[in-house]
Amino acid sequence: MDLNILIVEGNIKEDSEFFIKAAGASAADNLKNLILKIEPTINIEIINPGHDNETANAIKNMSKYNGIVFTGGAMRLNDMTDIIKKHINFASNCFNHKNKILAICWGLQVCSTAAGGKVNPGKNGAHIGIASNVVINNEGQKHFIYKDKKNIFTSPAFNFDEVSDLPKDAILLSSDKVNNVMGVIFNAGNSEVIGLQYHPDYEYFQMLNLIAGRKERLFNNKDFLSEDEYQKHISYIKSENELLNFKDRTCEVRNWLHYIKN
């Protein structure tokens, strides 16, 4: 069976250009490359909710998709610009249909908001390129998304905001010291959403390039208070890069693809 997947780009044009320069691909293309590496025969379409014609077309043809992935992105949900409203509105429209949705980082924040949850700046700080010691709880250990994943893992991650209030009846799957909501499942309308507040789709070298590109902003925001602190963080990510392998990092994406296939 040929699988059809819709990837929903989480960035506006300017941010996408930064991602392409720093990480070698837009958020959507980066995810597309990973999916095709795991399952080369999948048909993938990419849309951007900022483009009304693309969303109208996707909504019209919604029944043909076996799965939808919302990618990460650089916007901040509480800015609530017209573009952000379009992202939320598109997620709400997806929920009217029977969809299997994987929502990553910004995608989780958009889908959570569309489903009645809340997103706020992280009260314990940010993940800057990495999330350390994410703990899979008992519910997570029973869920297919974490099949073959270590119960405590470290992963590429980049976010300043977090899901502060979960949608109704959501089940928390994993947490770390920075964000309580790292992995979660919930039903929204007719859709089922699996959300991850970290990036199985990115590698650490891409995160290091994104950090370098945002260095000035990170210092302005007081995420780092000295060059020494910054360099220690970079060294830590490099040391974790040595330990990361493709299979461990991408486990959740592979498990989700297996799920929508069957």
Give the tens place of pLDDT for each residue, 179-213.
999 999 999 999 999 999 999 999 999 999 999 99
Other Cβ atoms closer than 10 A to 133: 11
pTM of the model: 0.97
pLDDT digits (tens, 9 = 90+) for 2-11: 899 999 999 9
What distance separates the 2 farthest-apart alpha carbons in the chain? 54
Task: Name the CATH architecture for the domain at 4-261.
Answer: 3-Layer(aba) Sandwich (3.40)
Query: What gap in Å lies between CA 162 and CA 46, rounded to an integer?
Result: 25
User: Does residue 262 have a pLDDT over 90?
Assistant: no
Query: Do the beta carbons of residue 7 and residue 31 sit within 8 Å?
Result: yes
